[in-house]
């Protein structure tokens, strides 16, 4: 693997032990995956931020590092909202260790945003190289923005943030970004909402595994694409997909899809995911809500009071920029939390059945929260939470 003179010096330890170790890690990854060189990244998104996941060993490792991020870097959601953990019922002992993890990342120059939607916070453009970890964020960056990132593990993403580069292999290369399966949607999707695209992604992910699908017959907007990609990354391992005439690389390139396997998905395939089981709580914001989603939730909740816990999750920066909308939502008794989510927060484990509007949450809530999950549109979620 080629290293330029600066990288050689770093690898020789001339820029300190931490950067030496970080570059060793990146070079090792590059060699495993056949990278010929490193590539500069525009930003990093680092998983391994929840104390529940990394524990004392992870915290000790982070605390041993001595360097600062050289590109904008954010964290994945953690187990609690930093400012409102008491209100959420988080145990003080857990909160104290979680704060220690966050402090360790802050010392490394990582921005203390804990979100799976970094694209709402840091400008990310077509063709940018990134080192992002969270699967829905990776899918969105690659597919909806046309940026380039592999799905990084936590240490790899942190190393990339500190060095400012990542090994150039996989989805950083044109040749690995072409479709390898076609999905034809045999259904009129004109009145589909975000949840219906999440349900489509839930079903499609199971069918395609880690292939790159090329969808025909749908025209989703950005929030719907976000839901579709998040679910396919959860039930499958889809890190990039294209939608004919919609996603940037599908618009820019004439992909040769002749000879590819063609899968048809119809309404019945998606309908079978819907149930009307009674639920104990409702959770929205997987992936974290966009400003438009928050506005829609506020509109639906206007004049209503929640009768079941209604949790809404979004990035701290998005919440801060939409304070009036958040106040309108919380007037109903619903709560909008930053930094965490329905899957990584222990608070959701108290509910036996949870309603969501996300295909990804439908896939993860049963295992991660030990709850039965039901999917419904955002309108249905608000109706269930307020009736």
Both structure tokens of 189: 């999707």
Residues numbered 82-111 forming contacts with ligand F3S, rule: CB under 6 A? none
Decide: is 136 part of the binding site for ligand F3S (CB under 6 A): yes
The binder of ligand F3S chosen from 138, 230, 240, 385 (CB under 6 A): 230
Decide: is 204 part of the binding site for ligand F3S (CB under 6 A): no
Residue (196 or 288) nearer to ligand F3S, CB: 288
Check if the beta carbon of residue 303 is closer than 8 Å to that of residue 309: no
The count of chain residues that interact with ligand F3S, using the rule CB under 6 A, is 14
Residue (134 or 223) nearer to ligand F3S, CB: 134
Which contiguous run of DSSP H or E holds residue 353? Answer: strand 353-356
Is residue 98 exposed (0-12), middle (13-18) or buried (19+ Cβ within 10 Å)? buried
Stated length of the chain: 387
Residue (136 or 187) nearer to ligand F3S, CB: 136
Decide: is 332 part of the binding site for ligand F3S (CB under 6 A): no
Calculate the CA 38 to chain-centre distance: 24
Which contiguous run of DSSP H or E holds residue 375? Answer: strand 372-375
Phi, psi angles (nearest 5°) of residue 11: -65, -25
Residue (163 or 361) nearer to ligand F3S, CB: 361
Residue (159 or 348) nearer to ligand F3S, CB: 348
Residue (129 or 288) nearer to ligand F3S, CB: 288
CB of 135 to ligand F3S, least distance (A): 7
Decide: is 198 part of the binding site for ligand F3S (CB under 6 A): no
Decide: is 27 part of the binding site for ligand F3S (CB under 6 A): no
The SS3 call for residue 31 is helix
CB of 266 to ligand F3S, least distance (A): 27
Check if the beta carbon of residue 353 is closer than 8 Å to that of residue 277: yes
Give the contact letters, 28-57, x = binds to ligand F3S (CB under 6 A), - = no. Answer: ------------------------------
Q: Which residues of 207-231 are buried (b: 16+ CB within 10 A; e: fewer)?
A: bbeebbbbbbebebeebbbbbbbbb
Q: How far is CA 125 from CA 161, 172, 252, in A?
A: 18, 14, 15
Decide: is 287 part of the binding site for ligand F3S (CB under 6 A): yes
Is residue 109 exposed (0-12), middle (13-18) or buried (19+ Cβ within 10 Å)? middle
Decide: is 286 part of the binding site for ligand F3S (CB under 6 A): yes
Give the contact letters, 344-363, x = binds to ligand F3S (CB under 6 A), - = no. Answer: x---------------x---
Nearest to 334 by CA among 274, 285, 372: 285
Interface stretch with ligand F3S, choices 200-208, 265-273, 339-347, 379-387 (CB under 6 A) = 339-347
Decide: is 229 part of the binding site for ligand F3S (CB under 6 A): no
d(CA 122, CA 313): 18
Decide: is 134 part of the binding site for ligand F3S (CB under 6 A): yes
Residue (41 or 138) nearer to ligand F3S, CB: 138
Decide: is 213 part of the binding site for ligand F3S (CB under 6 A): no
Decide: is 65 part of the binding site for ligand F3S (CB under 6 A): no
Decide: is 150 part of the binding site for ligand F3S (CB under 6 A): no
Which contiguous run of DSSP H or E holds residue 130? Answer: strand 130-132
Check if the beta carbon of residue 325 is closer than 8 Å to that of residue 292: no
Q: How many CB atoms lie within 10 A of CB 205?
A: 26
Both structure tokens of 201: 């992604």
Decide: is 288 part of the binding site for ligand F3S (CB under 6 A): yes
Decide: is 140 part of the binding site for ligand F3S (CB under 6 A): no
Beta bridge pairs of residue 242: 214
Decide: is 226 part of the binding site for ligand F3S (CB under 6 A): no
The binder of ligand F3S chosen from 120, 140, 215, 313 (CB under 6 A): 313
Nearest to 87 by CA among 297, 352, 339, 365: 339
Residue (116 or 273) nearer to ligand F3S, CB: 116
Binding stretches for ligand F3S (CB under 6 A): 77, 116, 134, 136, 230, 286-288, 313, 341, 343-344, 360, 364
């Amino acid at each position: 693997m080629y290293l330029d003179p600066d990288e050689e010096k770093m690898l020789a330890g001339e820029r300190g032990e931490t950067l030496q170790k970080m570059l060793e890690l990146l070079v090792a990854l590059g060699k495993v995956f056949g990278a010929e060189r490193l590539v500069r990244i525009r930003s990093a998104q680092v998983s391994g931020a929840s104390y529940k996941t990394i524990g004392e060993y992870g915290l000790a490792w982070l605390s041993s590092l001595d360097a600062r991020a050289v590109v904008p870097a954010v964290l994945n959601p953690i187990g609690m909202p930093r400012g409102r953990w008491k209100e959420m019922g988080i145990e003080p002992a857990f909160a104290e260790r979680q704060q220690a993890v966050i402090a360790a990342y802050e010392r490394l120059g990582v921005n203390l945003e804990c979100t799976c939607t970094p694209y709402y916070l840091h400008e990310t453009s077509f063709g940018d190289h990134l080192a992002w970890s969270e699967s829905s964020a990776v899918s969105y960056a690659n597919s909806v923005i046309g940026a380039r990132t592999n799905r990084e593990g936590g240490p790899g993403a942190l190393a990339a943030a500190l060095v400012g580069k990542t090994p150039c292999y996989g989805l950083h290369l044109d040749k690995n970004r072409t479709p390898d399966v076609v999905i034809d949607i045999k259904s009129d999707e004109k009145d589909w909402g975000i949840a219906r695209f999440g349900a489509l992604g839930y079903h499609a992910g199971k069918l395609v595994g880690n292939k790159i699908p090329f969808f025909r017959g749908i025209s989703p907007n950005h929030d719907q694409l976000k839901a579709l990609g998040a679910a396919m990354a959860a039930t499958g391992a889809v890190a990039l997909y294209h939608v004919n005439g919609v996603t940037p690389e599908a618009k820019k390139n004439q992909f040769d899809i002749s000879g590819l396997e063609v899968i048809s998905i119809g309404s019945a395939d998606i309908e079978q995911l819907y149930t009307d089981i009674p639920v104990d709580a409702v959770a929205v914001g997987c992936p974290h809500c966009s400003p438009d989603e928050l506005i829609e939730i506020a509109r639906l909740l206007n004049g209503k009071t929640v009768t079941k816990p209604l949790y809404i999750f979004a990035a701290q920066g998005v919440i801060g920029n939409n304070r009036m909308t958040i106040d309108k939502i919380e007037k109903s008794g619903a709560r909008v939390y930053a930094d965490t989510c329905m899957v990584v927060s222990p608070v959701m484990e108290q509910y036996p059945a949870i309603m969501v509007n996300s295909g990804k949450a439908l896939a993860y809530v049963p295992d991660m929260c030990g709850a039965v999950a039901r999917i419904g549109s955002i309108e249905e979620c608000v109706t269930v939470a307020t009736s």
